[in-house]
Structure 1
Amino acid sequence: MWRKALVSYAGGVLLKQPWWRTIAARLSSSSKATSSSVAVNSILLRSLKDHYLEVSKMTPPPKVSPPSPFTVVKGSIDSGGAILKRSYGEEEIGISVMRLANIIPGGGEDDDEEDDGMNQLFVHVEISKPGQQDSLHFLCGLYPDALGIHSVSMRSKMESSEAAALPVLLSRYNGPTFEHLDEKMRDALHGYIEERGINESLFPFLQAWLYVKDHRNLMRWFKSVGTFVTQAKEGASPAS
């Protein structure tokens, strides 16, 4: 350890330690460091296991089905793409969701604001038509009793498939700010998506879906961190 001096004073005269004592001190320090590392890993692994077991016993929310005619996209719980889909005439509609708190970090530091954050969802709606290169995108705030449009934009279908994640979409131009449009156009755009079933009726399913996804991600995180720590401990070379 760096706090151990390799030199000492005796009667005001600087005395150098013999080289074999220096080597012994280094070996002792290395041994203590290894022992300390094992102890720290053991504490961390025990904590990860305890939290994993605690989270695994949490009661999941009641199962909620999406409002008809929306259906759940297969495999969406483990991906970052669309969660719900439906057809409307010749149109194909896909819906993705995130918590608004995950997009605006640092918001909701007290308990009341944190609870409100659970009821604030950020929804991305993509509407596409066959034979058209572009699709229409709505970025919306969804609440238990209301839906508000943030912006409306046009994007190529290729760009949409490559940038399905909401943070990527947020980093690009999404059209004019919705509140800057005149009231007549705002009402018309609200009517357009409401006609396609995009409204507050989606909230119960999307909120329950996010609870399940968050729970699964948390379980996966505890497990993956534990696996990493275990492998690092067991895979370390004795000579390292």
Structure 2
Amino acid sequence: MWRQVARGALQPWSMIASRRSSSSSVSSTVNSILLRSLKEHYLEVSKMTPPPKVSPPSPFTIIKGALDHSGPVLKRTYGDEEISLFVMRLANIIPGGGDDDGDDGINQLFLHVNISKPGQKDALHFLCGLYPDALGIHSVSMRPTLENYGFLVVPTKYNGPVFQDLDERVRDALHGYIEERGINESLFPFLQAWLYVKDHRNLMHWFKSVGTFINKHKQASEA
């Protein structure tokens, strides 16, 4: 009788162990499928042909390490001014932005132009829309600048008037101001190609880092 009771008491533990074993097996299978898929896509992306190498228009130079951080891409001096350019795609600001516009989402870049002078705590900042054949100013403001990569700080004070509300002569003069410093559509081919390389590198890194995480989790569960 005691043997029967003991046998009955052990059954739930046996069932739990069996369920754990089954759950572990399913998890291992899912991990293997995911790892295989990640590897296939990683190899596929690695074979993508990069765009032809494009140099930035003179006198702009590429900032060392720009592909590895979110700071400025190009810089130049103009008299005593230090000019830094930041760039991003519309889709990086508004997810899905440009999806319904064919190539417009690809061919529309947002360009941040930061113009600083020695001894000045604030820099003149232009937010522009950059296209293959045009450049338009969205806003002009004064912003403080950090020393690291000249990264722009979000303004905490009055950010200036709406650009389109300015008098046409003022708008034209501001366009002339940045064009004199080489800020125009000639920057588009390089920045477009540069963003392609950066996006490709980020995608490769994503596949690799997710795969590494899953693989470590898989090894830990099998130990």
* TM-score, L = length of structure 1: 0.84
- CA contact 1:98–1:123 (8 Å) conserved in 2: yes
Alignment CA distance shift 1:52-1:173 (3 Å): farther
Instruction: Note the C-alpha offset of 1:142.
Output: 0.3
CA–CA distance in 2 between the matches of 1:82 and 1:162?
7
Instruction: Note the C-alpha offset of 1:237.
Output: 7.5
Q: Percent identity?
A: 68
Structure 1, gaps ≥5 residues long: 1-16
Instruction: Note the C-alpha offset of 1:173.
Output: 5.9
Q: Any idea what the Cα deviations from partners look like across 1:143-163, whole Å, max 9, x if unmatched?
A: 0000011111111233x7598
In the alignment, which residue of structure 2 is the partner of 1:164?
A: 151
CA–CA distance in 2 between the matches of 1:70 and 1:33?
58
Do residues 136 (structure 1) and 136 (structure 2) align? no
Partner SS for 2:87: strand
- CA contact 1:70–1:86 (8 Å) conserved in 2: yes
Do residues 225 (structure 1) and 215 (structure 2) align? no
Q: Any idea what the Cα deviations from partners look like across 1:69-123, whole Å, max 9, x if unmatched?
A: 000000001110010000001100000100012212232334xx24210000001
- CA contact 1:101–1:120 (8 Å) conserved in 2: no
CA–CA distance in 2 between the matches of 1:148 and 1:73?
24
Partner SS for 1:234: helix
Instruction: Note the C-alpha offset of 1:164.
Output: 2.4
Q: Any idea what the Cα deviations from partners look like across 1:158-182, whole Å, max 9, x if unmatched?
A: 3x759826xx749986422211111
In the alignment, which residue of structure 1 is the partner of 2:107?
A: 119
Which aligned pairs between 1:1-240 and structure 2 lie closer than 5 A?
18-110=8-100, 113-158=101-146, 161=148, 164=151, 169=154, 174-236=159-221
Instruction: Note the C-alpha offset of 1:22.
Output: 1.0
Backbone CA RMSD of aligned residues: 2.1
AA matched with 1:228: F
- CA contact 1:163–1:169 (8 Å) conserved in 2: no
In the alignment, which residue of structure 2 is the partner of 1:10?
A: none
